[in-house]
């Protein structure tokens, strides 16, 4: 199994656009329960702008890719999720720089840098009912797989499964960060929209790598 190349990373971003577009109504419905009903449109609009930017100016390195995706999300998405996802891609891109192809350990380290950026920016901790509750378990599963000698594909499979479990585990939680926290106890009983889109981010990476393996 080969390592992740720059075209694989671009395919990941495009697949993420496709998945948030496919799930736009679901994300918006989740956000209408505990937020302001804009998460689906925020993510779809932001990722459409990202793909348009990438088509107009193809990145030469993973670092450039992360910068384009991150800056575009920060500037086109008004909600909390724009700066948070933007920071994820900016930090992950900085960690990648011009290093590619990436093995599972190297890609895991870049993703970890991205998640640390989200934590630094949003100050959410695990259990606060945010995207962090999908991202942190995903990265833990990634690292466990990578240190056991997994390929990028196997690590991405493990991470996507762990993200989905983390997303599902947000349902009973009371939100302590973001708009949903205004609801207090009433935020319990709903899955977090950002944890749902963060699971799509890992699904997109798994799909992009699987697609490549199949072709």
Phi, then psi, of 46 in degrees rounded to 5:
-65, -45
Closest contact distance (angstroms) between CB of 24 and ligand ADP is 12
Element containing residue 155 per DSSP (H, E): helix 152-168
The alpha carbon dihedral of 78, 80, 83, 85 has a sign of negative
Site stretch for ligand ADP (CB under 6 A), options 11-19, 33-41, 109-117, 141-149: 33-41
Euclidean distance between CA atoms 102 and 205, whole angstroms: 13
For ligand ADP (CB under 6 A), the number of binding residues is 24
Closest by CA position to 141, among listed 117, 112, 168: 112
Closest contact distance (angstroms) between CB of 43 and ligand ADP is 7
Closest contact distance (angstroms) between CB of 86 and ligand ADP is 12
If one asks whether residue 193 binds ligand ADP (CB under 6 A), the answer comes out as yes
Among the listed residues 17, 45, 112, 177, the single contact to ligand ADP using CB under 6 A? 177
CB 185 within 8 A of CB 174: yes
Site stretch for ligand ADP (CB under 6 A), options 10-18, 58-66, 77-85, 149-157: 77-85
If one asks whether residue 38 binds Mg ion (CB under 5 A), the answer comes out as yes
Full 3-state SS string of 68-136: HHHHHHHHHCCCCHHHHHHHHHHHHHHHHCCCCCECHHHHHHHHHHHHHHHHHHHCCCCCCCCCHHHHH
Euclidean distance between CA atoms 104 and 2, whole angstroms: 10
For Mg ion (CB under 5 A), the number of binding residues is 6
If one asks whether residue 36 binds Mg ion (CB under 5 A), the answer comes out as yes
If one asks whether residue 35 binds ligand ADP (CB under 6 A), the answer comes out as yes
If one asks whether residue 207 binds Mg ion (CB under 5 A), the answer comes out as no
For residue 172, CA distances in Å to 5, 58, 138, 209 come to 39, 42, 19, 33
Among the listed residues 159, 178, 205, 208, the single contact to ligand ADP using CB under 6 A? 178
Among the listed residues 62, 63, 79, 117, the single contact to ligand ADP using CB under 6 A? 79
Question: What part of residues 82-141 is at the interface with ligand ADP (CB under 6 A)?
Answer: 84, 118, 122-124, 130-132
- For the chain, the C-alpha Rg in angstroms (whole number) is 16
Q: Which residues bind ligand ADP (CB under 6 A)?
A: 31, 35-36, 38-39, 42, 79-81, 84, 118, 122-124, 130-132, 177-179, 192-195
The site for Mg ion (CB under 5 A) is made up of: 31, 35-36, 38-39, 79
């Amino acid at each position: 199994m080969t390592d992740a190349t720059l075209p694989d990373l671009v395919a990941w971003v495009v697949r993420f656009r496709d998945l948030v577009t496919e799930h736009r109504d679901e994300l918006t419905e989740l956000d209408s329960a505990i937020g302001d009903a804009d998460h689906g449109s925020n993510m779809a609009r932001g990722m459409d702008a990202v793909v348009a930017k990438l088509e107009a100016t193809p990145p030469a390195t993973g670092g450039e890719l992360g910068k384009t995706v991150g800056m575009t999300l920060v500037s086109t998405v008004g909600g909390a999720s724009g700066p948070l996802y933007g920071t994820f891609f900016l930090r992950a891109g900085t960690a990648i720089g011009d290093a590619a192809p990436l093995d599972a350990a190297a890609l895991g380290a870049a993703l970890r840098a991205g998640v640390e950026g989200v934590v630094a920016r949003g100050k959410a901790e695990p259990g606060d009912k945010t995207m962090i509750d999908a991202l942190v378990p995903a990265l833990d599963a990634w690292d466990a797989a990578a240190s056991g000698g997994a390929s990028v594909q196997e690590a991405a499979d493990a991470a996507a499964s762990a993200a989905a479990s983390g997303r599902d585990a947000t349902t009973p939680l009371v939100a302590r960060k973001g708009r949903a926290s205004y609801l207090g106890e009433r935020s319990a009983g709903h899955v977090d929209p950002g944890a749902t889109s963060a699971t799509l981010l890992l699904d997109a990476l798994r799909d992009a790598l699987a697609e490549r393996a199949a072709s």
